[in-house]
Amino acid sequence: MKETRYCWNTYCPFDLRGTAEHLSSQAARGWRLEKIGKVFWKYRRGEPAKLHYAITCPPAAGEDGELGDRLFFQELCESAGWEKAADWEELQIYASEQERPTPLETDGALLLERIHGSMRWTWLRNRYTTALLLAVCFSLLMRSMLQRSHSYFLNGIELLLTAVCPLLILGELWSIGGYYRWRRRSLRALEEGGEPAPVPRSCRVLNGLAYLLSIFLILTFLTILLSPESSRDSFSMTVSLLMNFLVVAAFYPLNRWWDRRGTPGSTRFLACFLGLAVLVLCLGYYHPDLPERRGPEKGPSYVWKDEIWNSAPQPIPLTVEDLTGEPWDHVRRTVRLEGRTPFATETVYSESAAQEDGREAYLQYTVLEAPEAWVCRAILEDLLNGPDIWTYHSEDPAPWNAEAAYRRSGNNLPAEDWLLCWPGRIVTVYTQNLSLDGTQKALAAACLGPESGEEVPS
Amino acid sequence: MAREKFQTLTEPMFYILLCLREECCGTDVMARVAALTHDRVTMGPGTLYNLLDSFQQAGMIRETCVAGRKRSYLITDKGRETLAAEYRRLLELTKDYKACMEEEDLR
């Protein structure tokens, strides 16, 4: 027979009555509270008993972790027949086996003030901080969408966070609103001689939804991350997030220590802020430049002039041979899916070719598909406003049979580098040791344009 | 406008101060109040702790002894004044009530 069991807790910390009734009903069924975790509460099997539970806000620990006030408080509770059952964040849970124990709290107004005092510095502060951080995160994502549209629309994790952030902010604001609504109703009830109002069930439902959303978020996050279609940005962003999470996690033991010392919230906030500022100044925003996740395609290969070449190169839409009209002795090709999201898909193709007589050529092109016109426009604008060392100049799109064509220049010297636009499709073509003439441009357009029927491989 | 703290005393406040005319530890206060009021006024330990803390901060009681987890308190002069003021207030209420009732009886 199972001796322990874990229950998912969805009670709000200010739902003192609801939580106490829940624990009493568990005890009546033979399950006694043993330990409280962040999400799950542990119960141990025992004899079914009529136990009364009460949750209260104990006094804060004094300076240097002095527990005198808490011990005195506990002494008073024990003298009234209440035994401490567990600590729950800033709260304490007491149990009594007496038939009709004296309630732990007999002054509703006083209790409400203490709950508010406790909630203000813990639960509410966390809700406000989370909402604020989410708002900052959302604004950064919006900025990213406007200023780095190209990588943004290919980054599944950024898109996911953009979709989820407003939901989470609304959830946080709803929780805060729920607490204040409950407090207002309770104050009114006390003025009318009643007891603090029960916490509405919707608060528990919201808590449950928040947990489910977190699980969904983690799973989706992992799915995107592990998918071969995720962009390198998604992966490096995850590493950055993980680093930031570790930095935040490092504050946890520090916070516990502050709890023991009874350090005021303002001092903690200031210390955290300064600590983070110093960290950011010292380390900068860590955004790792990760190596390619997918290297050259595997397959039979050989070595010639200290370089690896493909024995049977994979087919790609446009090759150096197509452009030059002559077969090349040594060929090496790569196809890399840069990212695939519901908004955009980008694939990078490259080919290095060499002849026995020493001639070499290099061809690289990317095919980006963005069916939504506004997304396509935003990405194009981002690509055209690239780094200052490069500038794009518009040129006649007719040879490319494209809607628009741009040629890239560096230091006012035109490069063999073009950006071509069709509705829903942006293609970049870059060559080395290979100057494209009108016929070759038309051929490239036929192979890479929308009429080529070329679809990004999955 | 918010009422000044301890301008008037609630029943639990009144009885705590009354009990602390003699030095008394926190746990005994609950028993004494219950005995004094024949269980009419019950005081939870959470409420008692907060009231003792508030009274102490207001200088109406002082801590006299700490033995392990137990703490004893005694009312101060300020506390006695507050208690006396509350008594006078209650007398005024009673007097007014009597006057009104007698007037009604005469009619």
B103/chain A closest Cα distance in angstroms: 31
Where in the sequence is the domain holding B27, given as residue range(s)?
11-106
State the average pLDDT over residues A20-43. 89
Name the residue among A370, A362, A352, A346 with its Cα closest to residue A428. Answer: A346
Name the residue among A141, A148, A153 with its Cα closest to residue A345. Answer: A153
- Counting DSSP H helices and E strands in chain A, the numbers are 12, 15
Mean pLDDT of chain A: 84
Give the integer Cα–Cα distance in Å for A287 and A121: 33
Confidence of residue A240 (pLDDT cuts 50, 70, 90): low
Report whether pLDDT(A239) > 90.
no
Backbone angles phi and psi of A215, in degrees to 5 = -65, -45
Confidence of residue A381 (pLDDT cuts 50, 70, 90): very high
**B2 domain-assigned:** no
Query: Would an 8 Å CB–CB cutoff place B36 in contact with chain A?
Result: no
SS3 B87: helix
CATH assignment at residue B69: 1.10.10.10
Confidence of residue A291 (pLDDT cuts 50, 70, 90): very low
Identify the pLDDT of residue A150. Answer: 92
- In terms of CA atoms, which chain A residue is nearest residue B49? A73
Identify the pLDDT of residue A247. Answer: 67
Confidence of residue A300 (pLDDT cuts 50, 70, 90): confident
Instruction: Please check whether residue A387 is in contact with residue A435, taking contact to mean a CB–CB distance below 8 angstroms.
Output: no
Interchain pair A103, B42: CB under 8 A? yes
Identify the pLDDT of residue A293. Answer: 46
State the average pLDDT over residues A228-253. 67
Report whether pLDDT(A420) > 90.
yes
Interchain pair B44, A59: CB under 8 A? no
**B84 domain-assigned:** yes
Query: Residues of chain A with pLDDT > 90: what percent?
Result: 32
Mutation test of the interface with chain A: which of B11, B37, B49, B64, choosing the one with the most A Cβ atoms within 10 A? B49
Q: Which residues contact A351 (CB under 8 A, 6 or more apart)?
A: A313, A316, A319, A320, A331, A332, A333, A362, A363, A364
State the average pLDDT over residues A13-37. 90
Give the integer Cα–Cα distance in Å for A149 and A156: 13
Looking at A281-295, A323-337, A416-430, which range is the least confident one?
A: A281-295
State the average pLDDT over residues A399-409. 91
Q: How do residues B11-21 score in pLDDT, each as one tens digit?
A: 999 999 999 99
Give the integer Cα–Cα distance in Å for A209 and A369: 36
Q: Respond yes or no on whether ipTM tops 0.95.
A: no
Query: Would an 8 Å CB–CB cutoff place B53 in contact with chain A?
Result: yes
Confidence of residue A294 (pLDDT cuts 50, 70, 90): very low
Mutation test of the interface with chain A: which of B29, B32, B47, B71, choosing the one with the most A Cβ atoms within 10 A? B47
A57/chain B closest Cα distance in angstroms: 8
Interchain pair B46, A59: CB under 8 A? no
Identify the pLDDT of residue A320. Answer: 93
- In terms of CA atoms, which chain A residue is nearest residue B34? A102
- Within 10 Å of residue B79's Cβ, how many Cβ atoms? 23
Report whether pLDDT(A335) > 50.
yes
Identify the pLDDT of residue A94. Answer: 93
Q: How do residues A96-134 score in pLDDT, each as one tens digit?
A: 998 888 888 888 888 888 889 888 888 898 889 889 988
If 0-12 CB within 10 Å is exposed, 13-18 middle and 19+ buried, where does residue B91 land?
exposed
**Tokens 């992992």 appear where?**
A222
Give the integer Cα–Cα distance in Å for A436 and A318: 13
Give the integer Cα–Cα distance in Å for A135 and A106: 41
Query: Would an 8 Å CB–CB cutoff place B19 in contact with chain A?
Result: no
Instruction: Please check whether residue A209 is in contact with residue A175, taking contact to mean a CB–CB distance below 8 angstroms.
Output: no
How many structural domains is chain B composed of?
1
**B33 domain-assigned:** yes
SS3 A75: helix
A35: β partners:
A42
Report whether pLDDT(B1) > 50.
no
Query: Residues of chain A with pLDDT > 70: what percent?
Result: 85
Q: What secondary structure does DSSP assign to A150-166, as a single string?
A: HHHHH-HHHHHHHHHHH
Report whether pLDDT(A39) > 60.
yes
Interchain pair A106, B50: CB under 8 A? no
Report whether pLDDT(A2) > 90.
no
Interchain pair A104, B51: CB under 8 A? no
**B76 domain-assigned:** yes
3-state secondary structure string, A291-356? CCCCCCCCCCEEEECCEEEECCCCCCCCCHHHHHCCCCCEEEEEEEEEEECCCCEEEEEEEEEECC
Identify the pLDDT of residue A281. Answer: 63
Give the integer Cα–Cα distance in Å for B79 and A215: 56
B79/chain A closest Cα distance in angstroms: 20
Residues of B in contact with A74 (CB under 8 A): 69
Mutation test of the interface with chain A: which of B50, B57, B70, choosing the one with the most A Cβ atoms within 10 A? B50
Interchain pair B50, A104: CB under 8 A? no
Backbone angles phi and psi of A405, in degrees to 5 = -140, 140
Report whether pLDDT(A394) > 50.
yes
Name the residue among A59, A51, A45, A31 with its Cα closest to residue A94. Answer: A51
Question: In this structure, what token pair is assigned to residue B53?
Answer: 């803390």
Confidence of residue A66 (pLDDT cuts 50, 70, 90): low
Smallest Cβ–Cβ distance between B69 and the set A56, A72, A82 belongs to A72
The count of CB pairs under 8 A between chains A and B is: 67
Report whether pLDDT(A296) > 80.
no
**B18 domain-assigned:** yes
Report whether pLDDT(A458) > 50.
no
Interchain pair B47, A71: CB under 8 A? no
Q: How do residues A125-170 score in pLDDT, each as one tens digit?
A: 888 988 998 898 899 889 989 988 998 999 888 898 899 889 989 9
Q: How do residues A342-365 score in pLDDT, each as one tens digit?
A: 999 999 999 999 999 889 999 999
What is the Rg, in whole angstroms, of the alpha carbon atoms belonging to chain B? 16
Query: Would an 8 Å CB–CB cutoff place B81 in contact with chain A?
Result: no
Whole-model pTM: value is: 0.73
Which residues of chain A have a Cβ shorter than 8 Å from any chain B Cβ? 56-57, 59, 68-69, 71-77, 79-80, 82, 102-107, 110-111, 114
Give the integer Cα–Cα distance in Å for B67 and A41: 35
Report whether pLDDT(A284) > 70.
no
Mean pLDDT of chain B: 89
**B46 domain-assigned:** yes
Confidence of residue A95 (pLDDT cuts 50, 70, 90): very high
Residue A144, sorted as left (phi over 0), alpha (psi -120 to 50) or beta, turns out to be alpha
Q: What sections of A385-430 are H helices per DSSP?
A: none
Q: Which residue has the higher pLDDT, A299 or A310?
A: A310
Report whether pLDDT(A228) > 80.
no
A45/chain B closest Cα distance in angstroms: 29
**B85 domain-assigned:** yes
Looking at A61-75, A361-375, B60-74, which range is the least confident one?
A: A61-75
**B24 domain-assigned:** yes
